[in-house]
């Protein structure tokens, strides 16, 4: 056997099968096959390549000449990992074909075909063929690149169209969002006025300014009052979120005693804590002065307190106010239901509420902590949480004592 290698095509994607086909056709024509004969060989080549490549396993096709008993002929070697290629039908196309397997479970299919007239490949012929095969590969590569480039350009056009569509959608969403915000804001404002008047009249009746009331009436009015208070705080939450979103949540900073604010808010929650049967411990450092919006800071504390009370079924609540360098540190700790680590990450986003029984039963909007975070940030402060599910939670606020550079003032 006297084998001469001319070139090899590795088949890593379906398009290389076409390359193998074209190379064999060219070679076949060069050694004297007519168009039909060359087409037959090319077709058999692409079919065998396809089989060797099946399942997407990389394959290769090597072309060359081999000298056998009747002279030189076309020698094509297919390599691949296909288990059981169907070569029976190819016998009509070739003069000899056999399968062998090599180690690494590669399969070889060797196909041989004598040309119609005897031919002897001269060295010159062989180097010419090698060059032609390489040129063909380049041409294939260039056209492949061009095809890919066209595909990319088309994809780019698609993307441009998609982006235009998304831009339009975004505009629509923005305007819907604005309508929604305006609606929430208008409705909340409109609700606030009648609610104030309801609360006022309830207080007048409860104070017996309009005559004596009996115990049942007092009880019932008490329920009405609590519910109107709840409604009022809900409406205020909505309005605050509205303000946050339109960057209208402004802080009215004054130099006041943070200690007194914290003390007063704690006092205001003591009854609630007692009612829930929880113990309350506090350690408030006196006379801490800070530049803060007093109402907003007590709103923050009130929110944290009501959370701790709502989400703690037994145990205690600890409040600490202290200073650390130029900062005031307020921390509120409870022995409540706590929360998972993943919930801690979402805690400060709007409408987030953890999914557990204690939280579900307590009710709420999930807006409180989002507002808290915004207010603290508007003071150039930070708020952090550390918590463990079913063990308890600790919220820590750090507020600068000095007059901050306010953008929101
Ligand atoms: N002290 C706490 N203990 C356990 N979970 C808490 C505590 N504070 C907040 N959470 C969790 O964070 C969620 C968001 O709180 P918040 O924004 O105040 O909304 P809301 O109280 O209306 O549900 C709560 O629903 C609850 O799951
Ligand atoms: Mg809350």
Q: Which of 342, 353, 374 to mutate to test the pocket of ligand 1 (most atoms within 8 A of CB)?
A: 353
- Quickly state the pLDDT bin for 405 (edges 50, 70, 90): low
Q: What is the distance in A from the centroid of ligand 1 to the CA of 350?
A: 11
Please determine, for residue 222, whether its predicted confidence score (pLDDT) is greater than 60: yes
Q: Cα(247)–Cα(151) distance, rounded to whole angstroms?
A: 46
182 C-alpha to ligand 2 centroid (Å) = 24
Most confident of 247-256, 267-276, 399-408: 267-276
Answer whether residue 1 shows pLDDT above 60: no
Closest by alpha carbon to 206, among 234, 275, 271, 198? 198
Q: Comparing 133-142, 235-244, 304-313, 393-402, which segment has the lowest mean pLDDT?
A: 133-142
Question: 13 versus 24: which is more confidently predicted?
Answer: 24
Tell me what pLDDT residue 179 has.
85
Provide, rounded to the nearest whole percent, the portion of the chain with pLDDT above 90.
Answer: 63
Which numbered atom of ligand 1 lies nearest the CA of 237?
Answer: 22
Q: What is the pLDDT of residue 16?
A: 84
Confidence at residue 245, expressed as pLDDT on a 0 to 100 scale: 83
Banded pLDDT at 404 (limits 50, 70, 90): low
What tens digit of pLDDT does each residue of 184-215 get?
888 888 888 899 999 999 999 999 999 999 99
Distance from residue 78's CA to the centre of ligand 1 (Å): 68
Separation of CA 281 and ligand 2 centre (Å) = 21
Convert the pLDDT of each residue in 100-113 to its tens digit: 887 667 889 999 99
- pLDDT, residue 406, reads 52
Select the highest-mean-pLDDT range: 16-30, 244-258, 267-281.
Answer: 267-281
What are the structural domains, with CATH classification, of the chain? 4-121 (3.30.565.10), 179-245 (1.10.287.130), 254-400 (3.30.565.10)
Which ligand is the nearest neighbour of the Cα of 387?
1
End-to-end CA distance of the chain: give it in Å, rounded: 94
CA of 367, closest atom in ligand 1 = 17
Of all protein residues, the one whose alpha carbon is nearest to atom 7 of ligand 1 is 307
Question: Residues 308-326: pLDDT tens digits?
Answer: 999 999 999 999 999 999 9
Alpha carbon distance 277, 116 (integer Å): 105
What pLDDT shows up at residue 318?
98
Q: For residue 174, report the distance from its CA to the centre of ligand 1, in Å.
A: 29
364 Rama class: left (phi>0) / alpha (psi -120 to 50) / beta: left
Supply the mean pLDDT for the chain: 90
Instruction: Give residue 56's pLDDT.
Output: 75
**309: CA distance to ligand 2 center in Å?**
10
Whose atoms come closest to the Cα of 351: which ligand? 1
For tokens 């929604």, the residue is 180
Q: Which atom of ligand 1 is nearest to the CA of 369?
A: 17
Q: Answer for the pair 234, 365: CB distance below 8 angstroms, yes or no.
A: yes
pLDDT band at 11 (very low <50, low <70, confident <90, very high): confident
- Closest residue by CA, ligand 1 atom 19: 366
**Residue 409: predicted pLDDT:** 43
Q: What is the pLDDT of residue 178?
A: 83
Q: Exposed/middle/buried for 397, CB within 10 Å: 0-12, 13-18, 19+?
A: buried
pLDDT, one tens digit per residue, over 270-301 is 999 999 999 999 999 999 999 999 999 999 99
Question: What is the percentage of the chain residues whose pLDDT exceeds 70?
Answer: 98
The residues lining ligand 1, judged by C-beta closer than 6 Å to any ligand atom, are 303, 307-308, 311, 334, 336-339, 347, 352-354, 359, 364-370, 393
Please list all protein residues whose beta carbon sits less than 5 angstroms from ligand 2, which is an ion.
307, 368
Rounded distance from Cα 368 to ligand 2 centre (Å): 4
- The residue nearest atom 25 of ligand 1, judged by CA position, is 353
* For ligand 1, atom 23: residue with the closest CA: 366
Closest atom of ligand 1 to CA, residue 337: 4
Ligand 1 centroid to 178 CA: how many Å?
Answer: 27
C-alpha of residue 351 to centroid of ligand 1, in Å: 10
Reported confidence tier of residue 407, pLDDT bands at 50, 70, 90? very low
The C-alpha atoms of residue 155 and residue 153 are separated, in whole angstroms, by: 5
Q: Which of 291, 312, 279 is nearest to 392 (CA)?
A: 312
pLDDT surpasses 90 at 230: no
Q: Ligand 1 pocket check: which of 336, 354, 358 to mutate, most ligand atoms within 8 Å of Cβ?
A: 354
Phi, psi of 232 (to 5 degrees): -65, -40
- Provide mean pLDDT across the span 118-125: 89
Nearest in space to 74 (alpha carbons), one of 59, 61, 84, 88: 61
What pLDDT score was predicted for residue 188?
85
Nearest-ligand number for the alpha carbon of 318 = 1
- From 366, 384, 396, give the residue whose CB has the most ligand 1 atoms within 8 Å, as the site to mutate: 366
pLDDT by residue (tens digit) across 71-83?
A: 999 999 999 987 7
Give distance in angstroms: CA of 306 to centre of ligand 2.
6
pLDDT band at 90 (very low <50, low <70, confident <90, very high): confident
């Amino acid at each position: 056997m006297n084998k001469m290698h001319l070139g090899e095509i590795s088949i890593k994607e379906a398009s290389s099968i076409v390359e193998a086909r074209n190379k064999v056709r060219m070679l076949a024509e060069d050694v004297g096959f007519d168009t039909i004969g060359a087409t037959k060989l090319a077709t058999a080549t692409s079919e065998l390549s396809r089989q060797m490549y099946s399942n997407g396993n990389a394959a290769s096709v090597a072309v060359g000449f081999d000298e056998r008993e009747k002279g030189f002929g076309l020698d094509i070697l297919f390599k691949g990992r296909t288990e059981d290629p169907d070569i029976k039908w190819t016998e009509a196309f070739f003069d000899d074909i056999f399968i062998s397997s090599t180690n690494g479970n590669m399969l070889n299919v060797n196909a041989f075909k004598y040309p119609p007239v005897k031919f002897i490949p001269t060295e010159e012929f062989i180097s010419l063929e090698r060059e032609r095969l390489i040129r063909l590969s380049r041409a294939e590569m260039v056209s492949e690149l061009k095809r890919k480039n066209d595909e990319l350009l088309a994809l780019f056009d698609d993307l441009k169209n998609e982006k235009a569509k998304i831009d339009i959608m975004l505009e629509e969403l923005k305007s819907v969002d604005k309508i929604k915000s305006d609606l929430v804001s208008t409705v909340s404002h409109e609700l606030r006025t009648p609610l104030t008047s309801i609360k006022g009249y309830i207080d007048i009746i409860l104070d017996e300014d309009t005559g004596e009331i009996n115990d049942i009436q007092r009880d019932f009015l008490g329920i009405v009052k609590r519910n109107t208070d709840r409604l009022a705080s809900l409406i205020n939450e909505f309005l605050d979120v509205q303000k946050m979103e339109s960057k209208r949540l402004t802080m009215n900073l004054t130099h006041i005693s943070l200690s007194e604010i914290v003390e007063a808010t704690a006092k205001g929650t003591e009854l609630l804590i007692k009612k829930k049967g929880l113990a309350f411990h506090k350690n408030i450092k006196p006379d801490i002065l800070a530049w803060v919006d007093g109402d907003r800071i007590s709103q923050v504390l009130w929110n944290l307190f009501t959370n701790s009370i709502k989400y703690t079924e037994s145990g205690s609540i600890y409040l600490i106010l202290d200073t650390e360098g130029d900062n005031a540190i307020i921390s509120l700790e409870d022995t409540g239901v706590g929360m998972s680590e993943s919930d801690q990450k979402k805690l400060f986003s709007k409408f987030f509420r953890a999914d557990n029984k204690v939280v579900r039963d307590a009710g709420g909007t999930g807006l409180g902590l989002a507002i808290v975070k915004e207010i603290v940030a508007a003071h150039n402060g930070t708020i952090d949480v550390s918590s463990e599910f079913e063990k308890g939670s600790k919220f820590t606020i750090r507020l600068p004592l000095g007059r901050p550079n306010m953008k929101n003032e």
